[in-house]
Amino acid sequence: ENGKAEPESYENVTVFFSDIVSFTKMSNDLEPKILIRELNELFTKFDQIIEKNHCERIKTIGDAYLCVCGMPEANPCHAENILNSAIEIIRYLKKRQRCSNIQWEMRIGIHSGRVVGGVVGVKKYIYDVFGDTINTASRMETNSKPMKINISESTYQLVKDKYNFFERGFFSVKGKGEMKMYFVLEPEIENQDDDSSESEEWQQATGTYRLQLLTAKQQRKQCR
């Protein structure tokens, strides 16, 4: 009743953190009514996708979207469920772009580890999550690129045999030092217009992945 509850620690959780690219500029260009309508449509669809994949939305912060799997109920497939959600969200956005004048793009970051959860506040209390894992997922998002899914080494180790990845190497992360990162490789979410230095290697890696896609899908079906 007073908005207080004992916090709990969850050891095996995967965290999804996303942010809309150029949101500040787009929010200035759109009428407030249209902006809220668009965000509501996006986040409602995201909620449907993650619920289908047994994940839990924690909160939205402006244009940022935070969800988890592995808490409050333990789930041995927490990393796979989050990756499947991320892949489906990117597919949804790309499909939506083909029939909408408003072109939303997202960066997604994913990290796995220990998370603390609990209710905070008195009058407007909410269930929230805390810990280094949350901060690191946010850093993964910051170091991602538009319409790509950037994951940490800890998440990679949990799913490396069930997906294919582009190994990006080590990046300097604020408060963490050097961290190894990977892009999730899925032909349907390739950014064909990417002119970065990674683009050629990205194309080669996804070409290899197409030969292994069926096997990977069969493996993922075993985990729900």
140's tokens: 């993964």
Is 29 in the active site? no
Q: Where are the domains of the chain?
A: 8-185, 195-223
Closest by CA position to 166, among listed 129, 196, 136, 132 = 196
Would you call 190 helix, strand, or coil by DSSP?
A: coil
User: 85: which 2 tokens?
Assistant: 């959600």
The H or E element containing residue 116 is strand 106-120
Segments of the chain scoring below 70 in pLDDT: 1-5, 187-224
Annotated catalytic residue 194: no
pLDDT at 193: 46
Which residue is catalytic, options 19, 87, 149, 189? Answer: 19
pLDDT at position 217? 54
Out of 20, 50, 89, 149, pick the active-site residue.
Answer: 20
Predicted pLDDT of residue 209: 47
pTM over 0.95: no
Q: Catalytic one among 49, 58, 63, 89?
A: 63
Rounded to whole angstroms, how far apart are CA atoms 45 and 39?
A: 10
pLDDT of residue 196: 47
| Two structure tokens written together for 36 | 């809220």
Whether 20 is a known active-site residue: answer yes
Alpha helix stretches (DSSP H) within the chain = 23-29, 32-52, 78-97, 132-142, 153-159, 199-220
For residue 31, the model assigns a pLDDT of: 93
Count CA atoms within 13 Å of residue 112 on its CB side: 24
Residue 85 CB contacts under 8 Å (≥ 6 apart), including other chains: 16, 49, 50, 53, 55, 67, 69
pLDDT, tens digit (0-9, with 9 covering 90-100), for 132-184: 999 999 999 999 999 999 999 999 999 999 998 999 999 999 889 999 999 99
- Could you tell me the fold of the domain covering 8-185? Alpha-Beta Plaits (3.30.70)
pLDDT of res. 192: 44
